[in-house]
């Protein structure tokens, strides 16, 4: 089941040339909607965005831990376990922030930012130390770099950081929508020619 889900996700990655343009278009429109919400209502979006990033970090980290147990001899496994443990801890703390009275929203933002920074750095360091061609995927480098970037935005931004995140989402969503049109146009040209 997990292999099928992984293949589905990899098969629908927007940078793949053979992905359906409709999938890329829906992803772009969803990112545009999130970005617009963040830019138009930054005060309300701050808590929601932080909680969503924390929940995503928790779920992805648990998946990394599970993947480590499936392939215990892989050279990246210790780094993946460390990333997964730190990410799950940080994600759980941020997800529980509304229930923990002693944890302020500002503290949750700083914890999430520091956690993302550490998780991304461990990913890049792990890729450098393993130097395994199998482990050194471009998507891993991009994901770790984006994780570090989100961590920096959360650490060094307050409301402006949320606005910056909204603008990044708007620009990314617009880019995906444009890419969907390019893919659709290419497929039409391929089928009509």
Q: Where are the domains of the chain?
A: 20-188
Cα separation of the two ends of the chain: 39
Task: Answer with the residue of higher pLDDT: 16 or 41.
Answer: 41
pLDDT tens, residue by residue, 168-188? 778 878 888 888 888 888 776
- pLDDT of the residue at 122: 92
Whole-number Cα distances in Å, 161 to 75, 97, 105, 112, 150: 36, 19, 14, 13, 9
Across the chain, mean pLDDT equals 77
Report the predicted TM-score, pTM, of the whole model to 2 decimal places.
Answer: 0.65
Contacts within 8 Å (CB) and 24+ apart, 109-113: 109/50, 109/154, 109/158, 110/154, 110/155, 112/50, 112/53, 112/54, 112/57, 112/151, 112/154, 113/150, 113/151, 113/152, 113/153, 113/154, 113/155, 113/156
Q: What is the DSSP letter of 99?
A: T
User: Residue 121 and residue 59: Cα distance in Å, rounded?
Assistant: 19
Q: Are 57 and 87 in contact (CB under 8 A)?
A: yes
In this prediction, residues 34-59 reach a mean pLDDT of 81
Q: In this predicted structure, which of 7-21, 69-83, 165-179 has the lowest mean pLDDT?
A: 7-21
Q: Are 94 and 110 in contact (CB under 8 A)?
A: no
- Which distant-in-sequence residues (6+ apart) come within 8 Å of 178 by Cβ? 28
Asked if the model's pLDDT at residue 189 lies above 90, the reply is no
- pLDDT of the residue at 137: 59
- pLDDT of the residue at 4: 47
Task: Answer with the residue of higher pLDDT: 35 or 3.
Answer: 35
Q: Which residue has the tokens 């461990």?
A: 122
- pLDDT of the residue at 139: 58
Torsion of CA 24, 120, 122, 4, to 10 degrees: -20
User: Residue 36 and residue 96: Cα distance in Å, rounded?
Assistant: 26
pLDDT tens, residue by residue, 87-130? 999 999 988 887 888 888 888 888 999 999 999 999 888 888 87
3 state SS of 5 = helix
Work out the pLDDT band at 29, boundaries 50, 70, 90.
Answer: confident
């Amino acid at each position: 089941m997990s292999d099928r889900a992984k293949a589905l996700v990899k098969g629908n990655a927007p940078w793949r040339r053979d992905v359906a343009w409709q999938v890329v278009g829906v992803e772009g429109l969803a990112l545009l909607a999130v970005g617009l919400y963040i830019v138009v209502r930054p005060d309300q979006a701050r808590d929601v965005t932080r909680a969503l990033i924390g929940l995503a970090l928790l779920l992805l980290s648990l998946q990394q831990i599970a993947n480590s147990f499936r392939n215990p001899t892989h050279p990246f496994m210790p780094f993946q376990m460390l990333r997964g443990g730190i990410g799950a801890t940080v994600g759980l703390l941020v997800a529980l922030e509304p229930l923990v009275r002693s944890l302020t929203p500002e503290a949750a933002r700083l914890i999430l930012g520091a956690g993302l920074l550490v998780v991304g750095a461990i990913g890049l360091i792990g890729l450098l130390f393993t130097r395994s061609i199998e482990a050194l995927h471009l998507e891993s480098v991009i994901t770790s770099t984006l994780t570090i970037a989100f961590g920096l935005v959360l650490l060094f931004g307050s409301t402006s950081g949320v606005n910056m995140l909204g603008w990044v989402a708007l620009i990314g969503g617009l880019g995906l929508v444009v890419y969907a049109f390019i893919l659709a146009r290419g497929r039409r040209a391929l089928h009509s020619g």
